[in-house]
């Protein structure tokens, strides 16, 4: 049974390549949380040729965001699949103000809430280098060339960056330096979470 008293629900925030997925692996172990990456769920659906995957692929391949109504429904399904979780790490969601509002309403209906949003900060040059490197190994369609990566940054700047104000108004926004070793960054994030 979901029990808000003992739950921590975190949003990991940051540009493509900032390290959200990498850091979520450590945080989920440390705090016993369920990690939901909307990008991973889309990629799983693409790999398995589902209807959702076919729809999402047309956006992801270009580096565009998938429409809100599709993404919100998917996220809600993922939360509902995990009624025993002690809390969630939302990685790559919300990415628009409409998604953030939908998430708040959905969590409230389950007597849950977001405790904190933590942003990983890094500059575009570092991020582009990380993504191009990963594209070589993973073959991720949206990491293959700089134009697609820049389009993902543009989407972020236009649609996702405004969420900083959204969470600041709720006094839930924190940010840490996203440059350094993976361990150093985990320590910075842990300090924020332990201080909640």
66 scored as a contact of ligand AP5 (CB under 6 A)? yes
Q: Report the SS3 class of residue 6.
A: helix
Helix 51-60, helix 68-80: angle, nearest 10: 130
19 scored as a contact of ligand AP5 (CB under 6 A)? yes
Stretch that binds ligand AP5, among 1-9, 109-117, 128-136, 188-196 (CB under 6 A): 128-136
Tokens of 69: 């109504």
- In whole angstroms, give the CA distance from residue 70 to residue 52: 8
Question: Residue count at the site for ligand AP5 (CB under 6 A)?
Answer: 29
CB 196 within 8 A of CB 116: yes
Among all chains, which residue has been given the structure tokens 């924190």? 174
CB 38 within 8 A of CB 32: no
Among all chains, which residue has been given the structure tokens 């904190």? 116
Span 68-127, contacts to ligand AP5 by CB under 6 A: 71, 92-93, 95, 99
93 assigned binding-site residue: yes
User: Residue 6 CB, nearest distance to ligand AP5 (Å)?
Assistant: 26
Give the HSE-up count for residue 165: Cα atoms under 13 Å, Cβ half-sphere. 7
Choosing from 8, 9, 13, 16, the residue that interacts with ligand AP5 (CB under 6 A) is 16
166 scored as a contact of ligand AP5 (CB under 6 A)? no
* Catalytic annotation, pick one of 20, 130, 148, 159: 20
Q: Give strand ranges (E) for 75-142.
A: 87-91, 116-121
Toward ligand AP5, which CB reaches closer, 131 or 176?
Answer: 131
Residues labelled catalytic: 20, 95, 134, 140, 152
The binding site for ligand AP5 (CB under 6 A) comprises 14, 16-22, 38-39, 42, 59-60, 63-66, 71, 92-93, 95, 99, 130-131, 134, 142, 152, 182, 185
| Binding-site entries for AMP | 38, 43, 64-66, 92-95, 99, 140, 152
């Amino acid at each position: 049974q979901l029990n808000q008293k003992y739950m921590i629900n975190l949003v990991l925030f940051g540009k493509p390549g900032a390290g959200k997925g990498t850091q979520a692996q450590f945080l989920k172990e440390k705090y016993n949380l369920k990690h939901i990456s909307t990008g991973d769920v889309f990629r799983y659906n693409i790999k398995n040729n589902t209807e959702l995957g076919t729809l999402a692929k047309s956006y992801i391949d270009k580096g565009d965001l998938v429409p809100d109504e599709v993404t919100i429904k998917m996220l809600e399904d993922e939360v509902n699949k995990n009624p025993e979780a002690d809390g969630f790490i939302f990685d790559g969601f919300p990415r628009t103000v409409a998604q953030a509002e939908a998430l708040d309403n959905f969590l409230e209906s389950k007597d849950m809430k977001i405790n904190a949003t933590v942003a990983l900060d890094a500059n575009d040059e570092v991020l582009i280098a990380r993504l191009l490197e990963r594209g070589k190994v993973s073959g991720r369609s949206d990491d293959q060339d700089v134009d697609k990566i820049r389009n993902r940054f543009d989407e972020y700047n236009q649609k996702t960056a405004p969420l900083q104000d959204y969470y600041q108004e709720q006094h839930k926004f924190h940010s840490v330096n996203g440059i350094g070793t993976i361990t150093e960054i985990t320590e910075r994030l842990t300090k924020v979470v332990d201080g909640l």
